[in-house]
Amino acid sequence: MTKVIFDCAISLDGFFAGENRSPSNPMGGISMKLHQWMFKQKAFWKHIKQEGGEEDGQDGKLIDDVFARTGSYIMGKRMFDEGEVVWAEDLFEADVFVLTHEMREPWVQKGSTTFYFINDGLESALELAKKSAQGKDVRIQGGAETIQQFLNAGLIDEFFIHITPIFLGKGIRLFEGIDEDKYELKVMEIIPSEYTTHIRYKLNKK
Amino acid sequence: MTKVIFDCAISLDGFFAGENRSPSNPMGGISMKLHQWMFKQKAFWKHIKQEGGEEDGQDGKLIDDVFARTGSYIMGKRMFDEGEVVWAEDLFEADVFVLTHEMREPWVQKGSTTFYFINDGLESALELAKKSAQGKDVRIQGGAETIQQFLNAGLIDEFFIHITPIFLGKGIRLFEGIDEDKYELKVMEIIPSEYTTHIRYKLNKK
């Protein structure tokens, strides 16, 4: 059965992105610090269709796993704007539903990636994404605000966080303004790593 | 060699205490939620000199461990004010240095706990606490602001966090305004538990 998931790195002080995000400053410039565990993995570079990476270990397997289980994506417009200028063609190999007020025709890429621009809210995007996922999972890709909206709407089934052992001090927090009474959370899996701490949570709506 | 440590529970969204803390509302009323893992442990009740607890397992051993390694304590005045009205006599079994502007004579309790009220800042308190610890560790007990001051002064060697799988939504964050460039952090130990996730970090000052 399709689950609604997200999968993000955060700093130890809880930041998902830095300040002053824009297409010319994706994630507020902190991605190299926050995602160092990912950039070391061959699996990551394979998925973004570039050469790179040094390792082929457990951290990389987690990257493969989340790609494999995901059948479609939902993202916010700011994340799309930051990615549009840099992402390789057919990066997602799936349908991507972008939450936006902008009216725009679907952007069909070579391969199997199509971006759909959804103007009538997250429930509507989720319905389309579930249909598209065909039994695989729907991944809420980001940014933080989009994930917060899905969390507070009670729509998330499971998430993975990767806690990077760094302080960022400022920026955009992943868990900001989360409804305290929406879910019971359960730790399903903890995977230690030299570079980060992977924790998988399952959410049961109260 | 004496290390300067702290050891705290935080919610998944990073909160250490709730809103509106006061002696009649210690920790902003969220302690039962945040510290449920601790309250289940016989070791915790033994240390606060009361009857209680259901379990005698690994979570309890961590509570014993941090008591055993600590030779003296430092805390902020707000935490002291909240605790003074409820703590058992001789709770700490060590010297406790309270950072405050208030002038007050040492409060010598029956047993081995003495509270000293320090008016000239954290470095001064730390010097006294290190002497008192006699080779054991100095624990920065809290609250969050006091821990932040020690972190940002580059004085922390190691800490344990216990990430409770709950959202609190609002309150006082443990890691707020942390200097991003002060330390290199290393994950030393991760201990899964049914109730929380224990992670021990080592800090090397850059």
| Angle in degrees, 0-180, between the axes of helices A122-133 and A144-152, rounded to the nearest 10 | 90
Topology of domain B4-205, CATH: Dihydrofolate Reductase, subunit A (3.40.430)
- Please report the pLDDT score of residue A191 as a whole number: 95
Task: Report chain A's mean pLDDT, rounded to a whole number.
Answer: 96
Give per-residue pLDDT as tens, A160-185: 999 999 999 999 999 999 999 999 99
Give the chain A residue whose CA is nearest to the CA of B174.
A13
What is the distance between the terminal CA atoms of chain B, rounded to a whole angstrom? 20
With 0-12 / 13-18 / 19 or more C-beta atoms within 10 angstroms meaning exposed / middle / buried, residue B175 is: buried
Give yes or no for residue A85 having a pLDDT over 90.
Answer: no
ipTM: 0.95
Closest-CA residue of chain A to B179: A169
Specify the pairing of strand A183-192 against strand A70-76. unpaired
3-state secondary structure of A98: strand
The reply to whether residue A165 touches residue B185, judged by beta carbons under 8 angstroms, is yes
Cβ of B178 within 8 Å of Cβ of A14? The answer is no
- Best of B170, B178, B205 to substitute, by most chain A Cβ atoms within 10 angstroms, is B178
* pLDDT digit string, tens, across residues B103-156: 999 999 999 999 999 999 999 999 999 999 999 999 999 999 999 999 999 999
Report percent pLDDT > 70 for chain B. 100
Confidence of residue A194 (pLDDT cuts 50, 70, 90): confident
Q: Which parts of chain B sit beneath pLDDT 50?
A: none
Q: How confident is the model at residue A108 (pLDDT cuts 50, 70, 90)?
A: very high
Amino acid at A156: I
Q: Which residues of A touch B58 (CB under 8 A)?
A: none
Residues from A contacting B (CB-CB < 8 Å) are 12-14, 163, 165-170, 173, 175-180, 182-183, 185-187, 190, 192, 194, 197, 199, 201
Q: For position A31, what pLDDT does the model report?
A: 92
What separation in angstroms does the CA of A125 have from each of A69, A100, A140? 19, 10, 11
DSSP letters, B101-166, are: SS----EEPSSS-EEEEE-S-HHHHHHHHHHHHTTSEEEEEE-HHHHHHHHHTT---EEEEEEES-
- pLDDT tens for A87-103 read 999 999 999 999 999 99
Q: Which residues of chain A lie closer than 8 angstroms to B180, CB-CB? A: 166-170
For the whole model, what pTM was predicted?
0.96
Give pLDDT, residue A40: 94
